[in-house]
Structure 1
Amino acid sequence: MKKVIITGASRGIGFELSKLFADAGHQVLALSRNHLPISALKHPNITCFSFDLAKEESLHKLQDFLNDQWKQVDILINNAGKLLHKPFKAISSKEFKEVYQVNVFGVADVTRICIPFMPKDGHVVTVSSMGGVQGSVKFPGLSAYSSSKGAVITLTEILAEEYKETGPSFNVLALGAVQTEMLEEAFPGYQAPLTSLEMAEYLYDFALTGNKFYNGKLLQVSSSTP
């Protein structure tokens, strides 16, 4: 059984992923700012605590947990994300930085903490967006979000090269539309072809086996526009 860390676990894909891994017998550390929804499950295979990617004290808490309790991480799923839907000219520098703090710097920080605890066959999966893929259809109002999602695609490619001899493996999934609260914020009224559970099931399988076939790869997981 694997030890799995999932960020953004309070709702949507992260919440469903946490349940899938835990129900299959894996040990899950489910991290999110609001830990109450996942705590309410009272699942014996899920550990959770309040965690904010943008705060140093949360990162220290994760470091201490790994040092003192788990000692190993087999799978890290960087699923947490921050959306800002606003015209570019109306976005303040502070708002732009806040998106990057979660979607880029937070991903880098959590990954940096986990790597020393990961075996050669470990797997880091980062959830990006089709909006961050070069040449994909772009939508106004998502300049901070989409550009940040492009940044983690490049970060994944670089880390895979940097750790190709020692592991773990790194891959990034650019998701299309999934029926989540975040999608509703970005595209009000749009009905996505996939539910959170359906995408979570795909991610579950990929996190467990994808590193046997891919390393440093961007996979576009989308059947629609957006």
Structure 2
Amino acid sequence: MKILITGASSGVGFEAVLELILKNENEVIALARSQDKLKRLYEIAKDLNPEANLFPAKFDIVHDDYSSLANFVTERIGRIDVLINNAGQLINKPFEDTTQIDFVEMLQSNLLGHVKMIQNMLPLLNDGAHVVNIGSMGGYQHSAKFPGLAAYSASKAALHTLTECLAAEYTERNIRFNCLALGSAQTEMLEQAFPGYTSPVMAFEMGKYIADFALTGHKFFNGKVIPVALTTP
């Protein structure tokens, strides 16, 4: 499989990459904003599998040049079978202190960056490709909501609806779109959202779930927002 994943420098994205490179037939482009963390990812991946087909690249999904990214993808793996939109950010502050700029930042990082990625990678998606958006239980309808996360949760809810819309729009092209609404996993972002809370799910466990779903979930699902949560939060 030819795979492109964003948000690969930490948390569940980092762990998903390590799971994906274990199979030599997978070719993985891993994007993130931190060059140092990508270097660490590459070193760990090569220790796990010296034959790993891993191509890390520093890239900001909101601000960077997508024509250069398209060229990079074409040169390294040709086309794309799986696109995992995992990049994202979180703001945790009371609603009355949350500015319009905070809301814009959340929408850019958690929705519009993914819109740009999907639009620019569409010409490179193979027939039968699977696009996996990483959402959140914070944006899942009728789930528990928490103080301080209004901007984050609203942006994730928008990503969920985008997934459903694109699945309908690209049926004739045989491109499947699904969204995993993640509950807690022990990551830096969880600590930012819920200081002091310890999740029963480790980051590597959630990363493996994401990797497995990205490779096989399109055989069973399309246009679905799937809650992946053991506990609340």
Which category describes the TM-score, using the shorter chain as reference length? over 0.9
Deviation, structure 1 residue 68 = 4.1
Deviations 1:101-157 (A, max 9, x none): 110000111111112111221100011000101111100110110000000100000
- Whether 1:45 aligns to 2:44 is no
2:60 partner SS: coil
Query: Match of 2:14?
Result: 15
How many aligned residue pairs are there? Answer: 224
- Whether 1:33 aligns to 2:40 is no
Q: TM-score, structure 2 length as denominator?
A: 0.92
Q: Distance in 2 between matches of 1:199 and 1:108?
A: 24
1:30 partner SS: strand
> After alignment, is 14-23 or 77-86 more displaced?
14-23
Deviations 1:188-211 (A, max 9, x none): 010101011001111111111100
Instruction: Give me the identity figure in percent.
Output: 45
Q: Which of 138, 147, 151 is the equivalent residue of 1:144?
A: 151
> After alignment, is 126-135 or 34-43 more displaced?
34-43
The residue type paired with residue 74 of structure 1 is D
Q: Distance in 1 between matches of 2:28 and 2:86?
A: 14
2:21 partner SS: helix
- Whether 1:214 aligns to 2:214 is no
1:139 partner SS: coil
Taking only aligned residues, the RMSD between alpha carbons, in angstroms, comes to 1.3
The residue type paired with residue 165 of structure 1 is E
What is the correspondence of 1:68-79 to structure 2 with a 5 Å cutoff? 68-79=75-86
The residue type paired with residue 5 of structure 2 is I
Query: Match of 2:49?
Result: none
1:134 partner SS: coil
Q: Distance in 1 between matches of 2:73 and 2:9?
A: 21
| Contact 1:115-1:168 within 8 A present in 2 as well | no
Query: Match of 1:173?
Result: 180
> After alignment, is 101-110 or 115-124 more displaced?
115-124
> After alignment, is 203-212 or 89-98 more displaced?
89-98
Q: Tell me, which stretches of 5 or more residues in structure 2 are unaligned?
A: 47-51
In structure 2, the CA distance between the partners of 1:178 and 1:79, relative to structure 1 (3 Å rule), is same
Query: Match of 2:128?
Result: 121
Moved over 6 A (4+): none
Deviation, structure 1 residue 166 = 0.8
| Contact 2:38-2:57 within 8 A present in 1 as well | no
| Contact 1:174-1:221 within 8 A present in 2 as well | yes
Deviation, structure 1 residue 71 = 2.6
2:84 partner SS: strand
Q: Distance in 2 between matches of 1:20 and 1:56?
A: 27
| Contact 1:73-1:117 within 8 A present in 2 as well | yes
Deviations 1:160-196 (A, max 9, x none): 0000111210000101111000000000010101011
